[in-house]
Amino acid sequence: MEHPLWFSLFVVLALVALPVAVWLDLRDLSNTSLNRQAGQLNSMISEIRGYYSSNVVGRVLANHGDTTPAQNYREIDGGIPIPATLSIELGQVIDVVGNSIRYRFVSDEPFKSRAPHNLDSFEMSALQQLRAKGDPDASVTEISGSALSRQIRMAVPIVMGKACVACHNSHPLSPRQDWEAGDIRGIQSITLEQPIAANIFSFKYLLLYLLAAGSFGLAFAFLQWRQAVQFGRMNNELEEANSFLASVSMKISKYLSPQVYKSIFSGARDAVISTERKKLTIFFSDIKDFTVTSERLQPEELTNLLNEYFTEMAKIAHEYGATVDKFIGDAILVFFGDPETKGAAGDAQACIEMAIAMQRRMVELNREWRRQGIEAPFQSRMGINTGYCNVGNFGSADRMDYTIIGAEANLAARLESIAEPGGIVISYETYALVQNIIKARALEPISLKGISREVVPYVVEGIHDLVDDEAGDVIDRNSEHFHLHVDLAGLDRDDSEHIENALEAALFEVRQRRQTK
């Protein structure tokens, strides 16, 4: 919402306007009702005054003050209406004047000279209830009506007084002569009607308020609907963008080490040119005689073989928490210590365990490749060194690479170059950190360009001591000038004799050459 303050003020104003609109309508309704009642009361009083003037005062004056109260007063000179007759005729006067008020004075026991009173169901029921109660102050009420008008009817008892009892019990036209004071002779029925439609516009302020509120509600609902449509479209666009970014990020992750990928996308590392100097354990490996092997294979076959090799090695590297720097031709550069580290000793131990796992996996891969018809599978050599390197983002502002540089990285590559196929050579710095978990044998010191001291390499021994080799069915031994692979499974007699003869001939030649040197 762009203007929440204005919206809040509008809501407060709407809440204040509602009771004001109700008060204005109630005041207007009261004024209208009072004016209508005053007009009807004025008309009734005028009619009653006229009735009294002609039927009472006029008849008294016409007979020189001599009066006789009677129910048939019109037939008697000087006759005036008795209370019952007066009540009946006043009801007729009120019926003529009042549009919404009716009055009836009725009884189920009228004088014999009068026409029978036609009591409706309400009046008959009310008369029976009032007589059953016997309470002169009781009343019976009925409310009814339709959707456009309401009506209320009230019945109160007509109670016989002492004078009425004496008159009625002695009058020859009275229906009874055993009346007693307190008896209920009949009822006074008052009916009031109030049409709802006539007052509907008395609530004009409330109607205006509701109209304004409804219009605002419709407008607000429309705006909310339009906003929901816009949000829905934006959500769809965001979902598409997120799906695209997720797809792109998954593709990017193939080009980055998981640790680097995680640190970049979590915001822990910025994509800026920056480096740090850290103590790392660097691993370098390549394939012995890769050029010769590649010449024996078709390009498609070589590609599949190399990709399988890299996939298996990278999987092992990730299992041990290594940061895979890059694949350089047939070589692999991996390091431990950044962006995550277990400490110098922990990183070195993880690296040596990873290298051993890789060489053991290479034995299994060679077995599988030979079964696929590869005559000379890959033989990897590995070198490991521990030391300080510069690690971080190197390159330009537009293109950078997360890698390491330094003489210690070069030393790992040099150590790899002197390793036997299937072997691992480590520096003394690494050996000092892992000597409690491996067996290693020192080699002749070597000198390297850029390093003033001589470096003593150590060759890791017993790499394959724990390899099952399918319960001894395969013998696989390799060195720089020696490659032995024997699959014992399924050997027949002729194969066994051929292998024995070949081994004996090779052993004889080796011994002869050793004696001549």
pLDDT digits (tens, 9 = 90+) for 277-321: 999 999 999 998 888 777 778 888 888 999 999 999 999 999 999
Whether 490 shows a pLDDT value over 70: the answer reads no
pLDDT band at 471; cut points 50, 70, 90: very low
Strand 439-442 relative to strand 458-461, pairing: antiparallel
Burial class from Cβ neighbours inside 10 Å (0-12, 13-18, 19+) for residue 333 reads buried
Q: Which tokens in the block code for residue 133?
A: 């109660």
**Residue 416: closest CA among 317, 331, 321:** 331
* Helix-, strand-, coil-residue percentages of the chain, each rounded to 5: 50, 25, 25
pLDDT band at 248; cut points 50, 70, 90: confident
For residues 382 and 333, what is the distance between their CA atoms, to the nearest angstrom?
10
Per-residue model confidence (pLDDT) at position 372: 85
Mean pLDDT of 136-141: 89
Q: Answer yes or no: are the C-beta atoms of 460 and 439 closer than 8 Å.
A: yes
Average pLDDT over the chain reads 82
For residues 487 and 478, what is the distance between their CA atoms, to the nearest angstrom?
15
pLDDT band at 158; cut points 50, 70, 90: confident
For residues 70 and 59, what is the distance between their CA atoms, to the nearest angstrom?
13
pLDDT band at 479; cut points 50, 70, 90: low
For residues 189 and 174, what is the distance between their CA atoms, to the nearest angstrom?
22
Q: Which tokens in the block code for residue 493?
A: 């007699």
Q: In angstroms, how far is CA 188 from the centroid of its own chain?
A: 68
The pTM of this model reads: 0.52
Half-sphere exposure of 339 (CA within 13 A, CB side): 18
Type of residue numbered 285: S
Question: In sequence order, what E strands does 254-300 have?
Answer: 275-287
Per-residue model confidence (pLDDT) at position 199: 65
* 3 state DSSP class of 27: helix
pLDDT digits (tens, 9 = 90+) for 422-466: 999 999 999 999 999 999 999 989 887 767 778 899 999 988 764
- Read out DSSP for 136-191? TT--EEEEEE-SSEEEEEEEEEEE--HHHHHHHHH-TT-S-S---TT-EEEEEEEE
Per-residue model confidence (pLDDT) at position 373: 81
pLDDT band at 85; cut points 50, 70, 90: confident
Q: In angstroms, how far is CA 131 from the centroid of its own chain?
A: 69
- In this structure, how many other beta carbons lie within 10 angstroms of the beta carbon of residue 466? 8
Mean pLDDT of 401-427: 91
Half-sphere exposure of 5 (CA within 13 A, CB side): 0
Whether 89 shows a pLDDT value over 80: the answer reads no
For residues 172 and 112, what is the distance between their CA atoms, to the nearest angstrom?
9
- Read out DSSP for 401-422? EEEEESHHHHHHHHHHHTSPTT
For residues 40 and 95, what is the distance between their CA atoms, to the nearest angstrom?
11
* % of the chain residues with pLDDT over 70: 87
pLDDT band at 90; cut points 50, 70, 90: confident
CA distances from 475 to 7, 252, 394, 470 (A): 84, 41, 45, 10
**Residue 115: closest CA among 86, 81, 72, 155:** 72
Strand 446-448 relative to strand 400-405, pairing: unpaired
Whether 267 shows a pLDDT value over 70: the answer reads no
For residues 192 and 190, what is the distance between their CA atoms, to the nearest angstrom?
7
**Residue 320: closest CA among 340, 292, 302, 305:** 340
pLDDT digits (tens, 9 = 90+) for 170-219: 878 788 888 888 888 888 888 888 776 666 666 777 778 788 888 888 88
Mean pLDDT of 24-29: 74
Q: Which tokens in the block code for residue 257?
A: 């080490």
